[in-house]
Amino acid sequence: MNIRNIKLLMYRFLSVAFGRNKLARSPVNAITNNSQTQPNLTVILTQYKRKNLAKQLESVFKQSLVADKVIVFQNEKHVDISELISFYKIEHVLSSHNTKFFGRFAFCLSLNSNYFIVLDDDIVPGPKCFENYINECNRLSGIIGGNGRIAELNINKNALHAPPDTGIRTQSRLVDFVGHMWVFKKEWLYDMFSIPPSTLDTGEDMHFCFSAKLKSGINSYACKQEDPSESSDISNGRHATDQHSSYKKTSSELRISVERYFQTLGLQFIDEN
């Protein structure tokens, strides 16, 4: 896929989200941030076929670090979430075109925020999660995730058949890529769309982290979680193994092909030997 096709893809997504499709915006932003010391933070929640949004929203609105904006990004209307959108008075982007894994990140490019937190639909963050992860993002100047993997074309380390990492981690760990939740500065996102994806059917986690590392030297870290309240998923992976789990439908070879693709571009993975 060449640069022209990538630009066409992004244009198609943005035109679907803002033009031919309806963009449901609340006239009232339910989250405000009055502190000048806190980051300008937007949280993106993913909605597809799971029915976990109510639990996620409850958690988001109980965070110790208050977001400036919360947006639900919905691919196709498999689940009616209109009551939740109305109750929380939050923004809702509904696309009839399935933008798959990359669309929510492309959407972030249209928003004016310094920091983003993008969540998969199978995790429920603890009440101090956002504060903990943003602090680590600033301290390490890197992409912070709910779990992390070492690449090197290793299926076991990629854990294609495992739920998100949970539990206590006493320090943040340098990894090749992170997943299930991404905490990052907007400026790092431009690298993601400067390199054409080898596939749009999987690997947005790898593509984002690999691109930032290759283009700007930005590392990725699985975040420390010294207490369950700081965890990215207090459900302990309970929602990550249902029939909607992408790892059950994705070829391991397709995932590995993303790693091989970035190797040809000159990316060097972490060597733990």
- The DSSP symbol for 19 reads I
Which pLDDT tens digit goes with each residue over 3-16?
Answer: 445 445 554 444 44
Q: Give the range of the structural domain holding residue 80, as residue numbers without chain letter.
A: 3-264
Q: What is the CATH number of the domain that holds 102?
A: 3.90.550.10
Residue 23 lies in a domain: yes
pLDDT at 169: 87
Residue 162 lies in a domain: yes
Residue 32 lies in a domain: yes
The label of the residue with tokens 């939050």 reads 90
Which pLDDT tens digit goes with each residue over 138-166?
Answer: 999 999 999 888 886 654 544 433 334 66
Residues of the chain with pLDDT under 50: 1-4, 6-7, 11-37, 155, 157-164, 243-245, 248
Residue 269 lies in a domain: no
Written as one string, the DSSP assignment of 206-267 is HHHHHHHHHHH---EEEPPBSSGGG-S-TTTTTTTTSTT-GGGTS-HHHHHHHHHHHHHTT-
Residue 273 lies in a domain: no
Residue 39 lies in a domain: yes
Residue 270 lies in a domain: no
Q: What is the total count of domains within the chain?
A: 1
What is the reported pTM?
Answer: 0.81
**Residue 10: phi, psi to the nearest 5?**
-65, -40
Angle at 28 between CA 27 and CA 34, to 5 degrees: 140
Residue 64 lies in a domain: yes
CB 192 within 8 A of CB 105: yes
